[in-house]
Chain A
């Protein structure tokens, strides 16, 4: 199993930066997410989490620092959080830190992800 490292791009579409590390279980998704083929971009990330939780079975520490994501991306983020919730239910150690920009709407959105997935998410204001 290998790490995932994707450098974020802000051009016609916005690709987030992704760093998933097998050795530590530290995972980061940051920047902006507005993609031409959202499902195709997120599929390997979901596959990585499935493989990690099935074979490595270590702790997972997710830092999500997205200053913008469109609604298609938000569906994929729910899929990630659902996998993390399932892993936690099965006894896996999961921490999720969600860094949000200082607006009521963005805080609401994190709260909705918590309600939607049943996962505990630490809400942290971005600097």
Chain B
């Protein structure tokens, strides 16, 4: 993990796990093990956070504007993930560089997902799951899954970087009870 920051159980800002760097298979598997094994004493919570991690980490790998070659020479997305541990919930945040044009539809998808009841969201997932692979809009299913798993709204923020790119952050809360 050269050049990357990987801090576990840091006490500042309630951070339990944080990572910034390339989102490639090997690093994702290290992070996955941390989440699965040590985040919470409650396995059900760990599984929820793990499911959310897989879906959002894959988005960074695939769609981050900032890319670096991994050890096999394949360009992978660079981004950040932070898991914060609060009294009653964990907060999972994932962020990556993007362009405004490409992220506006994603933010609209989040708004759409947040406006739905759980039953509507399940119906939407069924609809999306039946779309052929590669069909435009098929990527929604990961965000729908995140909302269903967390049982909480998807929060997001878009920050303009000094170089004109944007940094997109998506966060969800996972209740401990």
A120 and B87 CA atoms in complex are apart in Å by 42
Contact B126–A112 (Cβ < 8 Å): yes
- Is B34 an interface residue when CB atoms closer than 8 A count as contact? no
**Chain A residues near B130 (CB-CB < 8 A):** 78, 116
Bitwise, B48-79 to A at CB < 8 A (1) or not (0) is 10110011001000000000000000000000
A116 near B126 with CB under 8 A, answer: yes
Residues of A within 8 A of B28 (CB): 12
Interface positions, chain A 52-81, Cβ under 8 Å from B, are 68, 70-71, 74-75, 78
Given known pairs A68-B47, A108-B122, the reply for A75 and B25 (CB within 8 Å) is: no
- Chain A 20-59, CB-CB to B under 8 Å as 1, else 0, gives 0000000000000010100100000000000000000000
Determine how close the nearest CB of chain B comes to the CB of A49; give it in whole angstroms.
18
Q: CA–CA, A6 to B149, complex, Å?
A: 29
* B55–A103 touching, CB < 8 Å: no
User: Would A105 and B29 count as touching, CB distance under 8 A?
Assistant: no
The interface residues of chain A lying within 8 Å CB-to-CB of B54 are: 34, 70
**A75 adjacent to B133 (CB under 8 Å):** yes
Q: Is B129 an interface residue (CB 8 A)?
A: yes
Docked complex Cα distance between A6 and B177 (Å): 37
Q: Is A115 an interface residue (CB 8 A)?
A: yes
A-B pair number, CB within 8 angstroms = 43
CA distance A63 to B58 in the complex (A): 29
Cβ B129 vs Cβ A74 within 8 A: yes
Assess the A116–B129 pair: CB atoms within 8 A.
yes
**Closest Cβ neighbor of B27 among chain A residues:** A12
The majority secondary structure among interface residues of chain B is: helix
Min Cβ gap B58→A in Å is 8
Residue total for B at the interface (Cβ-Cβ under 8 A): 24
Question: Is B114 among interface residues, defined by CB-CB distance under 8 A?
Answer: no
- A71 B29 Cβ-Cβ under 8 A: no
> Which among A71, A105, A112, A116 has the highest number of chain B CB atoms within 10 Å?
A71
A103-115 contact mask (Cβ, 8 Å, vs B): 1 or 0: 1010010001001
For residue B121, give the distance in angstroms from its CB to the closest CB of chain A.
10
A13's nearest neighbour on chain B, judged by CB, is: B25
**How many whole Å from A2's CB to the nearest CB in chain B?**
27
Residues of A within 8 A of B99 (CB): none
Please tell me if B125 contacts chain A, counting CB pairs below 8 Å: yes
Find the B residue at minimum CB distance from A103: B44
The answer, yes or no, to whether B142 is at the interface (CB within 8 Å) is yes
Interface pairs (10), CB distance under 8 Å: A12-B28, A13-B25, A39-B133, A71-B145, A74-B129, A103-B44, A112-B125, A115-B126, A116-B126, A116-B130
B residues near A, CB below 8 A?
A: 25-26, 28-29, 44, 47-48, 50-51, 54-55, 58, 122, 125-126, 129-130, 133, 141-142, 145, 148-149, 151
